[in-house]
Amino acid sequence: MANRIDTTFAHLREQKRKAFVAYVAGGDPDFERSLEILHALAEAGADVIELGVPFSDPMADGIVNQLAADRALKAGMNVPRIIELIRAFREKHDTPLVLFTYLNPVYAYGFEKFHHDAAAAGADGILLLDLPPAEAANHADFGNAEALHHIHLIAPTTPADRKKTLAQSSQGFIYALSRTGVTGGHSAPSATIGAQVAELRKLTNTPICVGFGITTPEQAAEVAGHGDGVIVGSAIVRCVQENASAADVAQKLQDFVTPLIEATHSV
């Protein structure tokens, strides 16, 4: 069976359309409304959804995503509940899901078991923020992890040899950071995106999606003009945060994200 990520990008390529990738923290602000938010993103036209696995020490995240993880943890989210959330989402939608996480919760659950259970529930990929691919390749505990596509993150400061290795071993899509730093720490995407994407295209045919600093439809359209997709995270999480006490938080988020998706698809 083909991976949903590959199928989606092949379909987008045929349509000459760019992908919109949305990030949300799983279980934020609680399980039921998080599920409604996932449905709303799929129904708004998101091509891929990155689902954050709440973790107590998200060192690569800015304050917006840190608070989202904290809200989710306080609402009772954990790895088994994330898997339940994926399974519930799959009852209605086939939008690809990429788990955005740190190694600790995956390793504590059991590396191979996590991959198996998440894939069986309906996940398609995983981005492990703090697991260097070279370390994974040399550690027996990280074997048998083929159930999910492993998404690589490449920053502007990634050394050339490492960038080549990551690009050539990439699966699904490459998460290209427009800037260095933590998530949500920038008000606009970098002006060097075009050059960064062009450099990566020389190394791989894997789709390249660009994230960090994208908050408006205009910025989404600008970034879509360079990459194969646009990743929006902190702006979406902030919308959830601002409406966390509202019963209709999913609808408010859908209203917010629809212009971003339309701008991305219009390029």
Structural element, H or E, at residue 74 = helix 63-74
CA distances from 232 to 17, 85, 109, 188, 211 (A): 17, 21, 28, 12, 6
- Considering the candidates 6, 28, 36, 50, report the single residue annotated as catalytic: 50
Structure tokens at 196: 């960064």
* 61 a catalytic residue: yes
Select which of 6, 36, 47, 61 is catalytic: 61
What CA–CA distance (Å, rounded) separates 28 from 51? 10
Give the CA dihedral 179, 224, 162, 100, nearest 10 degrees. Answer: 80
CA 167 vs CA 5, 35, 226: distances in Å: 17, 33, 17
| Closest to 28 measured CA to CA, from 39, 19, 36 | 36
Which residue's entry shows tokens 């990551």? 166
User: Which positions are annotated as active-site residues?
Assistant: 50, 61
